[in-house]
Amino acid sequence: MTFVDEIRPTMRIALHVFEGISLFHLASPLLVFGEVTRLGLAPDWTVAMWSDDGAPVRTTDSVILTDVRGTDYATAADLLIFVSWPNELPEPDESLKVLVRSAHARGAAVAGLCLGAFPVAASGLLDGRAATTHWLHAETLAERYPAVQVSPDPLYIDHGDVLTSAGTASALDACLHIVRRTLGAAAATTIARRAVVAPHREGGQTQYIDKPVSSHQHDSLGETLDWALAHLDQPLDVQSLATHANMSVRHFTRRFKETTGSTPARWVLSCRLDEARHLLETTTWSIEKVACTSGFVSVVTFRQNFVAHYGTTPTSYRTRFSVT
C-alpha cells in the first residue's frame, strides 16, 4: 500500500502504544482517523491500539488504556503507526523490527510520528531515505541510524509507503495529510474544519520558528496572506506581496519566513496546488480552466508541479477523488 494509489474506503489502522505513553500523542490519530468514520467519509475505516503484549497500558496521565490489541492486529493492518516512543529512546526488540519489516513487505504503510520515527528507523525502512522527528531529537536519530538522511526542519516527510513527522502538534498535520492523500482534499478539509485547525500545512514547512512575532506585527502580513488567498489567479510574486504589506522585499521575506516557516514562493505554490485539488474534486472544469483559476501560467507548468508534489497527474487525481 501507498497513501496515493487509490481511494481507500476500507482501512485498518493500528496505533502502537506502550507503558508511559502520553494521551496527547494518541489524540491526533484518534481524532483525525476517527472522524473519517464518524462523518461518513469512508465506510469502513477502523482504528485500534496495540501493544507488544496486548496488555492494558498506563499513560503518563495515569489513565489506563484497556482496549489494547496484540500483535495479531498489527500484522493485519493496512497502516501501522508509531504515535511516539519512550523518552529514554530504547532500541526496539528484534521481534518488533521484524513485525514492522514484515508488515511493510506485505504492502502495509508505516508511519512514525514524533519519536515514533525511532522504531521505524530501527527497522531499516528508512535506510537511504529522508526522515524527520522532533527537532530536539533529530541529532540523536542521525547518530544512531547513520543510513537515514535526517532533517530536523520539515513537519513531515512522506515517501508514499513510509512517513515520519516532527514533534507533537505536527502529528495532526501528518494525519490530515494521510487523509488528504487517501480520501482527497475535501475530506481532509472537512475534518480540519471540525477540529478548528488549518486544513493543510505543507510538509516542508519549518517545524520550529526561533523568533517569536508580536501580534501587532502580524496584522499587515496576515491581511496580505488573506488577500493572496483571494487572488490566487493573479501574479503573486514576492514584490507584489511585499507591496501589499507595505514592506520592502527584504523585510517582507524575512518576516514571512519568521511567521510561517516557509518562503513566499513555496507558500503561494502550496496554496495554488491546494486550490487546484479542490477544483479537481468538486468541479467538472477542464484541466486548462483549473490551472488558470489556480494561478498557473500554463497547463504544462500546472501538470509538472502537480506531479512533482502528489506523484500523480491532475486527470488521474480527479478520476480517484472527484465528488461530482
Residue 89's domain is classified under what CATH number? Answer: 3.40.50.880
Q: What is the pLDDT of residue 195?
A: 80
Say if 187 falls within a structural domain.
yes
Cβ contacts of residue 173 below 8 Å, gap of 6+? 155, 156, 165, 198, 200, 201, 203
Task: Give a yes or no: residue 164 inside a domain.
Answer: yes
Its pTM stands at 0.74
* Same-domain status, 273 and 180: no
Domain endpoint, select from 166, 195, 224 = 195
Cα 201 to Cα 133, 169, 262, 301, 319, distances in angstroms: 16, 11, 10, 22, 25
Q: Are residues 48 and 156 in the same domain?
A: yes
219 and 296 in a single domain? The answer is yes
- Residue closest to 122 by CA, chosen among 104, 97, 88: 97
| pLDDT score of 23 | 94
Do both 33 and 149 map to the same domain? Answer: yes
User: Does residue 209 lie within any of the structural domains?
Assistant: no
User: Of the candidates 86, 96, 11, which has an alpha carbon nearest to the alpha carbon of residue 52?
Assistant: 96
48 and 178 belong to one structural domain: yes
Domain count, the chain: 2
One domain, residues 148 and 236: no
Set of cell numbers at residue 132? 524527520
- Looking at the structure, tell me whether residues 189 and 239 fall in a common domain: no
Count CA atoms closer than 13 A to 76's CA, side-chain side.
Answer: 10
Give the domain-ending residue among 165, 195, 225. Answer: 195
Instruction: Indicate if 108 and 73 belong to the same structural domain.
Output: yes
Question: What is the per-residue DSSP string for 289-314?
Answer: HHHHHHT-S-HHHHHHHHHHHHSS-H
- Grid coordinates representing 38? 464518524
- CB-CB contact of 92 with 119 (8 Å): yes
Largest CA distance in the chain: 60
Coil, strand, or helix at residue 162? strand
Cα separation of 142 and 147, whole Å?
8
Whichever domain contains 294, its CATH number is 1.10.10.60
Q: Are residues 180 and 33 in the same domain?
A: yes
Among 195, 227, 255, the domain-final residue is 195
Bridge partners (DSSP) of residue 165 are 156
- Check whether residue 181 and residue 241 sit in a common domain: no
Residue 50 carries which side chain, given as an amino acid letter? W
Neighbours of 315 (CB within 10 A): 11
Give me the domain span that covers residue 107.
10-195
Which DSSP helix (H) or strand (E) runs through 157?
strand 156-158
Q: What is the pLDDT along the chain (324 residues), one digit of tens a residue?
A: 445 445 567 899 999 999 999 999 999 999 999 999 999 998 889 999 999 999 999 999 899 999 999 999 999 999 999 999 999 999 999 999 999 999 999 999 999 999 999 999 999 999 999 999 999 999 999 999 999 999 988 889 999 899 999 987 789 999 999 998 888 888 888 898 888 776 555 544 444 444 333 333 446 788 999 999 999 999 999 999 999 999 999 999 998 888 877 899 999 999 999 899 989 988 999 999 999 999 999 999 999 999 998 888 999 988 887 777
Q: Is residue 291 part of a domain?
A: yes
